[in-house]
Structure 1
Amino acid sequence: MGECYTNIEKCHTEYKWIIQQFNSHLEICEMFMEVEGIILQSPEFYTEIDGHRTTWNLQVFFNGSKEEYKDWISFQINYLSEMDDNVIGYYKIHLVKNNGTRVLVCKSNKLVGFNKTNSLLINQFFEKNTILAENDFLPNDALTIICEVVILGEPFTTLGPKPITQPKYEVLEDYQQLFNTRACSDVIFILGERKIKAHKAILIARSAVFFTMFKNDEKAGNKNCVVNITDMNLEVFNEFLRFIYTNQIFHLNEFDKELLFAANKYQIKLLKEICEYSLYKSLNVNNAAQTLVLADDNSSSQLAVHTINFINKYGLEVINTIGYKAMETSHPHLVTAIYKALTIDRKILKIEHESIEQCSTPIFELR
């Protein structure tokens, strides 16, 4: 007996949109009071199905899409590709809480058709007053929206037995789920009045410091694993734990300094390198001295070397900053290190210059 299998190609895409200074957008709306006047648009993102690339973007209407929805935020998914045929699929829209948990706001209960002239508009995405009252959704005044789109392609048929496909690796998704639910947790971190649950096995696998800490508790017969955290705030600690579980950081630019401290304290090498690179990319005249102090305090030798080179390059501009004057008082040894590096650079330049002069043949000797 012959057999065949008919299936439909699927393309699953997730797009994260972080809207910073969210309250400022709302204040602008109140100032102008224009219906449909304040529309924020995301950059384009892409999917590919049946060999065709499709283009999308998202829009937020801060005064609602119509007068009757002025107390609501409206949301729109735009299909921007030039393809004539409809693209069909499903969608889900989530908001993200400050602990990384996704909250489903809306989804399609049946197949939806997308085309360039028919955008998907959600008039009552969420109420303005509700989102402002729920502080969990606006960490550092930033709203995070995740749009999931699943596009269906053409049916295809495979003759013969069902083909063996490459399995999907779901470890990261599993650990993300564990981070979100904290199911079967066996450690409690205390931050002020807040209790944060976690899993010992994951912590000791990622950090030698946690390994030693829990090993010593085990030897001492301490069955209740409770750890007080006094040197990180709740938002930073949640970012720190998220990285331990998933290797992901949602707010690196905001917390790279604090996360560098955490990575150094708990000896998490990859996180430390990520933070060092983030600080290096954002290096400028005004923050150079503070960055050097941070590198010194957290044993970030590579970041320190690059920062010293930067300071020597922009000399007087950096020396005249408030941060540099504070560093002279709090970390005078760094001023010495800067001077030594500058002296060495000048000696090298002098040696190179003398070598060039010795190797050069005067023109009159060639005649």
Structure 2
Amino acid sequence: MDKYRTRTVSRKLSYEWEIADFTALADTPNFGVCGTEIRSPKISVNTSFKNEWHLELTMTEKCFIVFVVSDVEDKEMIIRTQFSVSILNERKEKKINKVYNQLFTGRVTRSPEISLIQKLDIMYSRSQFLPNNVLTICLDLAVYDECTEIIKFPSKSSNYMIGEDFKKLLDDNIARDITLVANEKEYQAHKAILMARSPFFYAMLTHDMKEKQENKITVPDIDLKIFEKMIEYIYSDRVTNLDSCAEQMLEVADQYQLLGLVEMCEESLSKSITVENVIRVLYVDLTKLTTTYAKRMNLLSNKIFGEVFRPTNRKSMKVVKIFSEKPIHKREEVIHYYPRHPQIGWLMRNLRLYGLFRDEHLDWKEEIERQRVLKGKKPRVKKSLREK
């Protein structure tokens, strides 16, 4: 059960505003006329909502007055505050301290006018209030910020984990009822666990297929170490040394629909994305790998071209070859990102300039043009790319 608690937190800020050559300002003929207030720099308080505050100073016939002004994004917001406005004397002591409780409503709100000090008082006590002809106004502001906490009551955890129990079934060779074959090596496993963990195996073992009848599944084209790590994940929900084989595990996880393993590979790969591996993994079936895919596309867009196409950087051409050697049908998902990442087309154009994979480049351009026409766009004027 979750319990919610709302509490009010006071966010405080102390701010000093120095106004130099104050007597010259006070003697200005138009000072005190509406619209001629002087404003302090803006400040903000650390709250859950964006806010800015400043002071405005003006004068009447008898006294200097100040306003506190709030500026928030939400015009419907009501902000509860408490603040005091004071003048600092030559010893930095607060004098004429006034405390106010004020609600600020609306996007930009001005407090009622605050009588700061009488003109005669400040002129007769210049040494006290205007040291070096500088008036210092101090604002002590407290903003009341409401925050809601969720208090969770965790259940008592057990020292016995289901993954550990399943792993014992695998290690102890108990009640196995199906054979997995990888690279001509046989492994004994449990149908129920395979079906529960993988939709791929579930479909295979619930339909009238050869594998169901023979209780034998052949796993083609897979490295033995990768296969063993896949079985380790299916039984224990973890993979030993995943970072060292995340790219290979990613393809296997996607093929056998092991979504938890997909997420683990995403996290591992996101820590080690490089120019060298970004294109190699780009063409895995990434329909479920949105996080990793976005990061790889960003790296492809922002970094790879400068490194691949420096005139002196011939080593990186191996990365370009990896990109171009992939079958054209695997590029469909990249074409989906083409409008937001035009650098992909730029990459292929550079391949043409280098004289590499010209036919593949033509196929690539034709596929992009076909996608444009399907979306109702006018076809571009074609240039003969086969001409020297």
Relative CO higher for 1 or 2, CA cutoff 8 Å, sep ≥ 6?
1
> Does the alignment reach a TM-score above 0.5?
no
Q: Give the structure with higher Rg (CA).
A: 2
Q: TM-score, normalised by structure 1?
A: 0.43
Q: TM-score, normalised by structure 2?
A: 0.41
